[in-house]
Amino acid sequence: MARRIRHPYVAAAAAVCGIALLVLVMRAGALRAGAMEGGGGGLAATGKGSGQVLQSSVAATGTVEPRAYFPILAHSWFEEITAREDFEPPVTGWPEGSVRNVVTVREEFNYGPYVDPDKQTVYQIGIRDNSDHVFVTGPIFALENFEYQAWMRRKSCSTDQAFEYGILISPVPIDPAHPEAEDVITFQNQIGFTTGGWWWVKRWNVSSVGQAGAVEKIANDRTSALTEECNIWNVMRIERSGNTLTFKVTNEKRGIDDFQTVATYTPGPGKPALYDQYYVGFFAANADITTWRYYQYDNVYVHAAP
């Protein structure tokens, strides 16, 4: 069963209660004949501007039984939705800022919308110090079954082994400067291999990054569907159906829509169940180097359905 959460950005689904409308019609003898227009002792209203008398369907005499009317629900509690973000101005809801802290493992990085020298507006994460991890979500969230994909590329062309960048889903929004979240799932490309991208699926306790038990490695392998070339777009995609996540990849040289499925994941016994909702976002991590590295993201797409 999916895990339900409450959050100020999303109103909790309210229970729908049927409100009975009880219509009681009293005997015509209790109403004076001249109390309303139309005559004959029935209930009536005067049509506006026409002088027409609209006669009630309730007869003036006879027995009338009370009736209760209840609303009928014909669809699920949320509608099918599609959301996109290309980071062209104006951009709202995506965080922008920088962090420099020599005490924690999240030491020096920046993030936010950025106009690249090629005149393309993207979302960029820059990381300088070793062992930095950046988790960021925007305003877009997905409910129940969904598809989430984003384009991403690295702008730093050095082949730094073990550097990672990709996408994530989180049950709550994440502020990169003050990350607090559990059960965050990342799907990332790990660069530094000449035979194709090495991908990972991981679950994080973001609040405890750098400590034992903060990350669980769910799956990993290599695939030629990911490219390590700089300035070439990879596309990573997470699909959810019920309690199962499917992970797919491609790149612009292979074909933007030519996805390869690389992994599926269904939480087993003792593992956290999937949540009803997930905020979507990005992930990047530095390895053992203290030089700025930049990762860019674009063309966010989310489709969610009951």
Predicted confidence (pLDDT) per residue in 51-68, tens digit? 333 333 334 444 545 544
Among the residue ranges 6-20, 86-100, 126-140, 284-298, the one predicted with the least confidence is 6-20
pLDDT in tens, 122-133: 999 998 866 788
Q: What number of CA atoms fall less than 13 Å from residue 294's CA on the CB side?
A: 15
* Domains delineated in the chain: 17-72 (no CATH), 81-305 (2.60.120.200)
The residues, ordered by sequence, that sit 6+ positions from 198 with a Cβ below 8 Å of its Cβ are 189, 190, 191, 192, 220, 221, 222, 226
- For residue 281, which of 85, 119, 106 has the smallest C-alpha distance? 85
The C-alpha atoms of residue 65 and residue 61 are separated, in whole angstroms, by 13
| All residues at 6 or more sequence positions from 269 whose CB lies less than 8 Å from its CB, including other chains | none
Distance CA 71, CA 243 (A): 32
> DSSP labels for 89-101?
SS--SS--EEEE-
pTM over 0.95: no
Tell me the HSE value of 68 on the side-chain side, using a 13 A CA sphere: 4
Cβ neighbours of 57 (radius 10 Å): 7
Query: Which three-class secondary structure state does DSSP give residue 305?
Result: strand
Query: Per the omega criterion (within 30 degrees of 0), is the bond before 269 cis?
Result: no
pLDDT band at 120 (very low <50, low <70, confident <90, very high): confident
Given this model, what pLDDT does residue 176 score?
92
**Residue 70 vs residue 207, higher pLDDT:** 207
Residue 26 has pLDDT above 70, yes or no: no
Rg (CA), the chain: 29
Q: Out of 47-56, 65-74, 159-168, 263-272, which region has the weakest mean confidence (pLDDT)?
A: 47-56
> Are 229 and 140 a contacting pair, CB within 8 Å?
no
Candidate ranges 77-81, 208-212, 236-240, 288-292; pick with highest mean pLDDT: 236-240
3-state SS, one letter per residue, for 137-181: EEEEEEECEEEEEEEEEECCCCCCCCCEEEEEEECCCCCCCCCCC
In this prediction, residues 163-168 reach a mean pLDDT of 93
Residue 213: per-residue pLDDT: 83
CA distance 42 to 289: 89
Give the SS3 label for residue 206: helix
Q: What is the mean pLDDT of residues 226-237?
A: 92
